[in-house]
A = this chain, B = another copy of it.
Amino acid sequence: MHAVGLITEYNPLHNGHRYHLQTAKQVSGADCTVVVMSGNWLQRGEPALLDKWTRTELALAAGADLVVELPVYFATQPAHLFARGGVAILSALGCDSLVFGAEHPDLDFAKLTTAMATMANGDFQHYNATFATQFNAALQATTGVTLTSANDMLSFCYYAANQRLARPLKLYPIQRRVAGHAETTITPGETFASGTAIRQAALQADWPAVEPVVPPATLAALKTNRLQSWADFWPYLQYQLLTVDVAHSGQYDQMAEGLEYRMRAMVQTSHDFQDFLGQVKSKRYTYTRLQRVATAALLQLTKAEVQAAQAHPYIRLLGFNSTGQAYLHQVKKQLPLPLYTKINQQLREHALQLDYRAGRVYELINHQSQDLYRRPLRITGG
């Protein structure tokens, strides 16, 4: 059996994702679709609307054969580390290929990556502009190309991450089925919409708008579950930033250059999370970066913890169908990373402690156990 990998968040799983899942085998010629999916905290520095188990179920229903978790120390990171974690896990699972959506799949990502290969991420950190702006200025200067779309940028990162592998995956960028990631409304009559537009509509319970652009299972899940957003966690973040010593908050992951003082000052005068972000915002940081720092603060993730965890990744199984099970059986004996199917005390205090903590915080709102007593979902068929 051959497997194709997908790196996903499914917040929530919509028709574009279903198309991606349906196309992956076809494009790659694989027999099994392996999905690595962010857990409860996402790359944009926010909680998932639906928890990881609900989203695993939706993924399996939409065509995934095997779903594993992208650990929080990769999921809540800048694009290059998010990509690196996803690619590493798919490679460890023996995938031959990776299929991903891009706004401009015809770009010569391989060439761009090679041209930029010598540039370290740290090179940009002293400029008074966001990372993406700096990155693009350098890319423009080196190659004449600018990557202004989120998924083009991510595609670039997949190529860069793939270059680090001893046995690289075959990469298949495909055309995304949505006008643009930043599009914030659902167009009537269309069957595809952006995640941002769908989240907004779902949080307003605008089901007639959501229905045409998501699979029926997603609609049902959105209607019946407690949808979680930053508004739910704002009181905890506020409390945390008010009480923590700045010497300690300065050690939170992705915190930088005195941002801990700025956050502590602004949290005292902000009345909600959006207001807080607006007050902290400066030219130096994107909203996404600030959301990721806020996530690190909320989860009390320090740079040191995140870096130590990134050096010891693992495969955390969330769900599978019979195809996924057969594939897992095939590769199980040669896995280069540990495979975890359920959590025990040892794991929750050591190897899995960051994911466990991230899950406990998520549970404060939805009150559904995220790790304790949970086993991978099995569905028949596939």
Contact = CB atoms under 8 A, between A and B. Distances in A.
Interface of A: 235-236, 238-240, 242-245, 248, 268, 298-300, 357, 360-361, 364, 372
- Interface of A, secondary structure class, is helix
Contacts of A300: 243-245
Nearest to A302: B245
Contact of A242 (B238, B244, B245, B361): B361
A238 B364 contact: yes
Given A235-B236, A242-B357, 12 more contacts: A235-B235, A236-B236, A236-B239, A238-B364, A239-B239, A240-B243, A242-B361, A243-B299, A243-B361, A244-B300, A248-B248, A268-B360
Contacts of A364: 235, 238-239, 242
A245 B299 CA distance: 11
A357 B361 CA distance: 23
Contacts of A235: 235-236, 364
A68 to B, nearest CB: 25
A244 to B, nearest CB: 6
Nearest to A358: B243
Contacts of A268: 360, 372
Nearest to A345: B265
A268 B298 CA distance: 17
Contacts of A248: 248
Nearest to A301: B243
Contacts of A238: 364
24 contacts: A235-B235, A235-B236, A235-B364, A236-B236, A236-B239, A238-B364, A239-B239, A239-B361, A239-B364, A240-B240, A240-B243, A242-B357, A242-B360, A242-B361, A243-B298, A243-B299, A243-B300, A243-B357, A243-B361, A244-B300, A245-B300, A248-B248, A268-B360, A268-B372
A372 B257 CA distance: 27
Nearest to A268: B360
A370 to B, nearest CB: 12
A328 to B, nearest CB: 30
Nearest 5 A/B pairs, CB to CB: A243-B300, A242-B360, A236-B239, A243-B357, A239-B364
Nearest to A246: B349
Contacts of A245: 300
Nearest to A238: B364
A278 B361 CA distance: 23
A118 to B, nearest CB: 37
A309 to B, nearest CB: 14
A268 B244 CA distance: 21
Contacts of A360: 242-243, 268
A255 B270 CA distance: 32
A360 B299 CA distance: 21
A93 to B, nearest CB: 30
- Most chain B CB within 10 A, of A238, A239, A357, A372, is at A239
Nearest to A299: B243
A242 B299 CA distance: 9
A196 B206 CA distance: 49
Contacts of A298: 243
Contacts of A239: 236, 239-240, 361, 364
Q: Point out which of A243, A268, A360, A364 has the most chain B C-beta atoms below 10 A from its C-beta.
A: A243
A364 to B, nearest CB: 6
A208 to B, nearest CB: 35
Contacts of A372: 268
A229 B369 CA distance: 27
